[in-house]
Amino acid sequence: MVRPKTSEEIELLKINGDLVSRTLAEVGKMVAPGVTTERLNEVAETFIRDHGAEPSFKGFEGFPAALCMSVNDVVVHGFPSDYVLKEGDILSVDCGTLYKGYNGDSAYTFPVGEVDAETRKLLDVTKASLYKGIEAAVAGNRTGDIGYAVQSYAESFGFSVVRELEGHGLGREMHEEPGVPNYGRRGHGARLIDGMVICIEPMICAGGRGVYLAKNGWAVHTADHRNAAHYELTVVIRKGQAQQLSTFDYIEKDGLIKF
């Protein structure tokens, strides 16, 4: 049985959620053709440390950076590098923080310059599927209800859902129970209880759902090398409506992303 978080724990998780959200916005200001993913990683690490927190991804099971930076056909867990972003790329940025013993975790996929209509649709549908999942993340439902909401929405547009990776609980550990798949059946899976904190993170592919692990043991690529998008928010399970602890408002309300 997953233990619900106390109000004090939720407040610390909210502080972390706000920091990862603001960090993503700082990165988003610089996402443009000609910029390297390593430079974006440096900006994020400095911002996190300047706010009294630590980048929780760095050193986690040997991961070398503050951010996961996943370009185009890399679904998740890409390394920052000297890769120079170019017009039409998409960049998934996954950010984690550790502050006062608790974690923050959020992800956003940024278009680099102008992207084609198919890619724009992939981004829009993936993000919308996340909010469909959040709508289902209420006390009394099950993780399968979240997965069904994400999957049914994404697949209705002809996209596919990665099965090998999932969302998760969040607290003192970066990955806690329950697992939160992005596919499933209504009424199945772990029961959602008031005060449970989870990360919902659809990983949606433009083509088939097959993936493979790169030789570095981290980056997950689509098998057909078509693009994939990834968005993630942290929420508290509540009765009637989930409470968001992270947000895309710093990115979108400041006009960094145009729709």
Name the superfamily (CATH) of residues 7-252: Creatinase/methionine aminopeptidase superfamily (3.90.230.10)
Q: Which candidate, 135, 129, 145, 128, places its Cα nearest to that of 242?
A: 135
DSSP-derived secondary structure for 106-162: EEEEEE-S---HHHHHHHHHHHHHHHHHHHT-BTT-BHHHHHHHHHHHHHTTT-EE-
Q: What is the mean pLDDT of residues 209-237?
A: 97
pLDDT category of residue 108 using cuts at 50, 70 and 90: very high
pTM score, whole prediction: 0.96
pLDDT at 259: 37
Q: Tokens 């992303």 sit at which residue?
A: 257
DSSP-derived secondary structure for 42-106: HHHHHHHHHTT-EETTTTGGG--SSEEEEETTEEE-PPP-SPBP-TT-EEEEEEEEEETTEEEEE
**Tokens matching residue 208:** 């088939």
Is the model's pLDDT at 203 over the cut of 70? yes
Is the model's pLDDT at 254 over the cut of 80? no
Between CA 113 and CA 56 the distance in angstroms is 29
DSSP secondary structure letter of residue 194: T
Is the model's pLDDT at 58 over the cut of 50? yes
Extents of the domains making up the chain: 7-252
Query: Which H or E run includes 21?
Result: helix 7-30
pLDDT category of residue 253 using cuts at 50, 70 and 90: confident
Q: What is the mean pLDDT of residues 42-68?
A: 97
Between CA 180 and CA 136 the distance in angstroms is 12
User: What would the pLDDT profile of 135-190 be if each residue is shown by its tens digit?
Assistant: 999 999 999 999 999 999 999 999 999 999 999 999 999 999 999 999 999 999 99
pLDDT category of residue 257 using cuts at 50, 70 and 90: low
Q: Tokens 């996929």 sit at which residue?
A: 109
Q: Which candidate, 6, 14, 41, 12, places its Cα nearest to that of 234?
A: 14
Q: What is the mean pLDDT of residues 42-55?
A: 98
Is the model's pLDDT at 255 over the cut of 90? no
Q: What is the mean pLDDT of residues 8-15?
A: 98
Between CA 81 and CA 28 the distance in angstroms is 17
Mean pLDDT of the chain: 96
Q: Which candidate, 77, 130, 101, places its Cα nearest to that of 247?
A: 130
Is the model's pLDDT at 120 over the cut of 80? yes
pLDDT at 2: 86
User: What would the pLDDT profile of 240-249 be if each residue is shown by its tens digit?
Assistant: 999 999 999 9
Between CA 84 and CA 39 the distance in angstroms is 10
pLDDT at 14: 98
